[in-house]
Amino acid sequence: MEKIDRDILDWIAAETGDPALAAQIAKASVKRRDYTRTGFFVYFEPDPGAEPAGAAPVSARLDAPGLMDGAGCDLFMRAGRLHYLEVYARGGFLPEPLADYRLARDHD
C-alpha cells in the first residue's frame, strides 16, 4: 500500500469514528491498485471474518500543489467490509507521486 493510500484510510477511520471500520482499515490488504491519470483505485482483499462497519465512511477532500481543484477520496464498502478506495482529481490530472497533500472533510 502506498503512503498516500494509508494516510487517506487512516484519516477516514479517524473522522468516521467507527471502531469496526478502523479495525478493518488497520488490517487492510491491497489486492490491486490502478492509476488512471485522473486518479486511482485501490481494491482490497475481502476479509469475511471482519466485523462489519456500522457507519458509512466519511469522504475526504485532498488538496496539494499541482492539483487544479483538489481531489475527492471515497471509500466504498460491500456488506460492511472494505471494497475499494477511489481518489479522483476534480479537474485536470492527478500527479503521481503526490506530495505535500492535506486532507479535510469534503463539503461538495
What's the pTM value of the predicted model, to 2 decimals? 0.94
From the CB of residue 86, how many other CB atoms can be counted at a distance below 10 Å?
16
Q: pLDDT (tens digit, 0 to 9) for every residue of the chain, 108 residues total?
A: 999 999 999 999 999 999 999 999 999 999 999 999 999 999 999 888 999 999 999 999 999 998 989 999 999 999 999 999 999 999 889 998 888 999 999 775
Please name every residue paired with 75 in a beta bridge, in sequence order, or none if there are none: 85
Task: Look at residue 21 in the predicted model and tell me its pLDDT.
Answer: 97
| Phi and psi torsions of 106, nearest 5° | -90, 120
Query: Residue 108's pLDDT is what?
Result: 53
Task: Specify the pLDDT at position 46.
Answer: 83
Residue 82: the pLDDT is: 96
Domain ranges within the chain, ordered by starting residue: 3-105
